[in-house]
Each structure stands twice: as structure tokens, then as C-alpha cells.
């Protein structure tokens, strides 16, 4: 697909500005009524979903050019999908998210490149990860673990750790213990360890479609040769890449793809795992954009009049994964879940997505701080999430501000309640 394929969508924008807000019947207060980090931060219509579509149409019809300034606005966006979900409440014939993705690859095709993204892409080509870490250190997290190697043995389940979990020293123990949990539950699991690569999802979001395709091809050939039936990942970013970007690239993985939380629920249902240890904590849950709105599978392109598109072919972010984490939290003894105002498909972003963390870290941090403020307003002891990028953003925000709230990975709660992980006392102000 190209930007041109979405001309009707861009022409259809009625300039109603609904894409800037949580749909009005879902608003709980004026304070948390905004949904788009970009327009909330920069306060010009151009930064909103609608503004970006107007710029796209203007370029497409030769009324304006792709300048550096326009490119900077296009990339001032977390690709969080909140605008698409809000727009579709009123105009479900417009695929705003697809336009935002096409605008990015249009920039790359036209040679308008962000220097910050070029540096990350260079590191990706060199080291096979988005963090610029050494390729040789990717497998360090799994050293000494008694687990199958995907390159040497077949297995029922492939565990894909992802770049952030593999390299972030604060997260490595979580995936080591996850492998322990899976093997103790009798799961036939294998990892790629040192030979695992980036899923390519962030390259896709940066607009570098060719690079993303190479990583998808690599993943596809590994999965095919592994003989596995299921791929499990603890990373929401990778999960979204597998179920949304890969099919968009026509590189669908020939296996069931599950977020770790979904697989945990399956183990509980099969009686292979019990969450018995009490965790006395009042928590609130942050829906990662890439497990929620962007955790809804790609449905293919609708070629005819979108007004006649059946509901089953409309992708609006409402069918993402929202209930699973809440069910897990509610099943752990002692945990008390209190909700923020913007939740599920109306959730506010953590700030890291869409290459914003790499290109505009201040904007990313501002977005995270806004979410921490909302979490504090619930009176919760801790904020729980299910994405390593959200965790990074919130940990740094709490460390910076000294906000009186802890931060938890949903996986750590599972590990602790299953008796795999030592109980961690929540220290207010982060830990």
C-alpha cells in the first residue's frame, strides 16, 4: 500500500477534531479528556491525526511539499492509535492509523530522514537490535538456563524475548524466571538466545519498510524451521509487530502468536499453574498501546467503499487485549485493582512509541509524566503494565519526579504469586 491508496480516507476527514479527545460519552473529567499526546503537547492542529491527514492530502495533490518541518510533525506522534479509535466512533470509513503509517514510509521514500532514527537504524543493521547494544551480548540473559535452543532442537513453544527484555539489566531476571515458570509448568519451550534478532517492528514504525521486511523474513524462516506451534513473547511491541505489521507486509507467521499473559492464562486454565501467594497491594493498570489498540490483528485492506464495510472488517482498536491483564490481576490474592479514567481503547500512551523516544525524548518523558499523574490520582500503591517500553518510561519518570508510586511488570506479579520470584516490597517513589 502507499499514501495514494488512502486518498479517499484523507479527503473524508470532516475536521471535527474528535480525534483529539476521548470520545465524549467516555470522558470522566476535563483533566483527562485528551487522548492525543502530540496535539496535547504541541497545541497545533497539524500535530493531530486530522492535521497529519490534511498535510498528507495536501502533499499528494501537489498543494504543498514535504519539508523538514512537515517531516518533524509527521514523526511527532507515538503511533498510539488513540486518534484512529476516536475517529472511528464517528467515522468508521476512515483508516487514520494506516495513513499515519504510510506518511512515514513516504518520508523515507522521499529521502526525508530523521537523523536520530538514522542512527538507530545503523545500530540495528550492525547489531540486530534497536538499543545499539552489542550483538554478542544478546544471549547473556539466558546463560546457565536449562532450556532448549531453537537452533538445535524442535519445541512446541518458541519464547521470543525481544530487544528490551534481552538487554535491559532491570528486566533480564524477569525473563530468566519466566523460563523457569514455563519449564516447571511442563511447557516444551525453546529460545533463540544469542541468535535472536529484533522483530523489526520499530523499523516499520520508523517508516523503514525494507528493513522491517528483512527482519520479518528472518523471523519467518526461524519459526518455520522450528516446528513450533505457538510463539510466546512478553513484549507488547513485538506482539503487535507479529500480528499487525507482519500481515501488513504479507509475512504472517504460521503459528499461534500469544502475549506471555495470554499463555499464563492458558496454563492456569489447564491446571498447570496456580497463583496462590498473596500480594497485598492496591494497583492500577496501564494498557500498553501495542497490546491494546495496536494489539488488534490486521484485517487486510478493504478495497471498496468503506461505508459499506462490514463490522467484522473494521479495525478500530476495540478488539485489543484489555481483559486478560485485568483478569490476571483480579485472580492474584491480595491485589486490589483501581482504574484510571482513560483505560482500554481510550488509554493514554506511555510516550515511547512511534520512534518518539529516540527522536524527541523530552516529548516522550512529558507523555509518561502525564500518565503517572493520572495513576497517582487513583490512590494506587503501584502502577502495573505489560510492556517493557512502558516500564522504562514510567520507571524513569518516577525516578525523575519522585512520584509516590511503585511500578510493576505484570509478569513479575505472576512470578511472585506463583512462588517463583521472591516477594518485592513496594517502595513508594519507585523501585
Question: What are the Cα distances from residue 275, in Å, to 128, 253, 341, 351, 401?
Answer: 36, 31, 28, 31, 33
Q: Write down the least CB distance from residue 51 to ligand SF4, Å.
A: 8
Can you tell me the distance from the alpha carbon of 161 to that of 350, in angstroms, rounded to the nearest whole number?
21
Q: Which is nearer to ligand SF4, 87 or 190 (CB)?
A: 87
Q: To the nearest whole angstrom, how small is the minimum distance from the Cβ of residue 45 to ligand SF4?
A: 9
Q: Which stretch binds ligand SF4 (CB under 6 A): 83-91, 176-184, 250-258, 397-405?
A: 83-91
Q: For cell 494489539, what's the residue? A: 295
Q: Is the Cβ of residue 51 or residue 430 nearer to ligand SF4 in the bound state? A: 51
Is the C-alpha dihedral spanning 133, 138, 142, 144 positive or negative? negative
Other residues' Cβ atoms within 10 Å of the Cβ of residue 255: 18
Q: Which residue has the cell 530523521?
A: 114
- In the bound state with ligand SF4, the residue whose beta carbon lies nearer, of 249 and 289, is 289
User: Cβ(225)–Cβ(190) under 8 Å?
Assistant: no
Beta bridge partners of 336: 282
Nearer residue to ligand SF4 within complex by CB, 84 or 177 = 84
Span interacting with ligand SF4, options 93-101, 107-115, 181-189, 266-274, rule CB under 6 A: 93-101
Whole-angstrom CA distances from 332 to 14, 145, 281, 335, 337 are 46, 27, 10, 6, 10
Residues numbered 306 to 335 that lie near ligand SF4 (CB under 6 A) are none
Any contact of residue 83 with ligand SF4 (CB under 6 A)? yes
| Distance in Å, CB of 109 to ligand SF4, minimum | 20
Residue 390 sits in the site that holds ligand SF4 (CB under 6 A): no
Q: Are β-strands 382-385 and 406-409 bridged in parallel, bridged antiparallel, or unpaired?
A: parallel
Nearer to ligand SF4, 78 or 397 (CB): 78
Looking at 94, 260, 273, 275, which residue binds ligand SF4 (CB under 6 A)? Answer: 94
Task: Let me know how long the chain is.
Answer: 431
Binding status of residue 276 toward ligand SF4 by CB under 6 A: no
> 262: part of which helix (H) or strand (E)?
helix 260-269
| Least Cβ distance, residue 55 to ligand SF4 (angstroms) | 12
Tracing cell 519507585 back to the chain, one arrives at 430
Smallest gap from Cβ 293 to ligand SF4, in A, equals 9
Among 2, 14, 67, 330, contact with ligand SF4 (rule: CB under 6 A): 14
The C-alpha cell that represents 332 in the structure block:
492474584
Q: Interface mask (CB under 6 A) for ligand SF4, residues 17-56, using x and -?
A: xxx---------------xxxx---------xxx--x---
The three cell numbers of residue 241 are 509487530
Under 8 Å between Cβ of 81 and 317: yes
Q: Is the dihedral of CA 150, 193, 212, 94 positive or negative?
A: positive
Q: Which of residues 100-129 bind ligand SF4 (CB under 6 A)?
A: 100
Q: Which of 82, 103, 124, 142 binds ligand SF4 (CB under 6 A)?
A: 82
Residues that bind ligand SF4 (CB under 6 A): 13-19, 35-38, 48-50, 53, 77-83, 87, 91, 94, 96, 100
Amino acid at each position: 500500500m502507499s499514501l495514494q491508496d488512502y486518498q479517499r480516507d484523507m479527503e473524508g476527514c470532516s475536521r471535527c477534531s474528535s480525534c483529539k479527545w476521548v470520545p465524549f460519552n467516555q470522558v470522566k473529567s476535563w483533566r483527562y479528556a485528551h487522548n492525543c499526546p502530540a496535539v496535547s503537547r504541541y497545541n497545533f492542529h497539524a500535530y493531530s491525526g486530522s492535521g497529519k491527514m490534511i498535510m498528507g492530502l495536501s502533499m499528494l495533490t501537489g498543494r504543498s511539499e514535504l519539508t523538514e518541518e512537515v517531516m518533524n510533525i509527521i514523526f511527532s506522534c507515538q503511533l498510539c492509535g488513540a486518534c484512529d479509535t476516536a475517529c472511528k466512533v464517528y467515522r468508521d470509513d476512515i483508516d487514520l492509523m494506516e495513513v499515519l503509517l504510510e506518511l512515514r514510509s513516504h518520508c523515507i521514500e522521499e529521502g526525508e530522514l530523521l537523523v536520530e532514527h538514522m542512527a538507530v537504524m545503523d545500530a540495528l543493521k550492525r547489531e540486530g537490535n534497536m538499543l545499539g547494544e552489542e550483538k554478542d551480548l544478546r544471549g547473556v540473559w539466558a546463560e546457565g538456563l536449562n532450556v532448549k535452543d531453537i537452533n538445535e532442537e524442535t519445541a512446541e513453544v518458541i519464547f521470543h524475548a525481544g530487544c528490551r527484555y534481552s538487554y535491559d539489566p532491570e528486566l533480564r531476571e524477569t525473563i530468566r524466571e519466566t523460563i523457569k515458570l514455563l519449564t516447571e509448568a511442563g511447557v516444551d519451550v525453546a529460545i533463540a538466545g544469542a541468535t535472536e534478532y529484533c522483530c523489526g517492528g520499530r523499523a516499520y514504525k520508523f517508516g523503514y519498510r525494507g528493513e522491517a521486511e528483512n527482519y520479518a523474513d528472518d523471523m519467518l524462516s526461524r519459526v518455520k524451521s522450528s516446528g513450533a506451534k505457538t510463539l510466546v513473547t512478553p513484549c507488547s511491541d513485538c506482539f503487535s509487530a507479529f500480528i499487525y505489521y507482519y500481515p501488513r507486509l504479507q509475512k504472517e507467521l504460521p503459528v499461534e502468536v500469544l502475549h506471555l499473559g495470554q499463555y499464563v492464562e492458558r496454563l492456569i486454565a489447564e491446571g498447570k499453574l496456580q497463583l496462590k501467594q498473596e500480594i497485598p497491594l492496591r494497583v492500577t493498570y496501564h494498557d500498553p498501546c501495542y497490546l491494546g489498540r495496536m494489539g488488534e490483528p490486521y484485517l487486510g485492506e478493504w478495497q471498496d467503499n468503506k461505508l459499506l464495510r462490514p463490522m467484522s472488517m473494521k479495525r478500530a482498536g476495540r478488539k485489543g487485549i484489555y481483559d486478560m491483564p485485568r483478569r490476571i490481576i483480579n485472580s492474584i490474592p491480595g491485589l486490589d485493582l483501581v482504574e484510571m479514567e482513560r483505560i482500554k481503547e481510550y488509554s493514554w500512551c506511555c510516550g515511547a512509541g512511534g520512534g518518539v523516544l529516540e527522536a524527541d525524548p523530552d516529548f516522550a518523558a512529558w507523555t509518561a509524566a502525564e500518565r503517572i499523574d493520572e495513576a497517582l490520582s487513583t490512590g494506587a500503591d503501584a502502577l502495573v503494565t505489560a510492556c517493557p517500553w512502558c516500564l522504562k518510561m514510567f520507571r524513569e519518570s518516577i525516578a525523575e519526579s519522585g512520584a509516590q508510586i511503585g511500578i510493576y511488570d505484570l509478569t513479575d506479579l505472576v512470578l511472585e504469586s506463583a512462588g517463583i520470584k521472591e516477594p518485592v516490597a513496594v517502595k513508594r517513589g519507585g523501585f
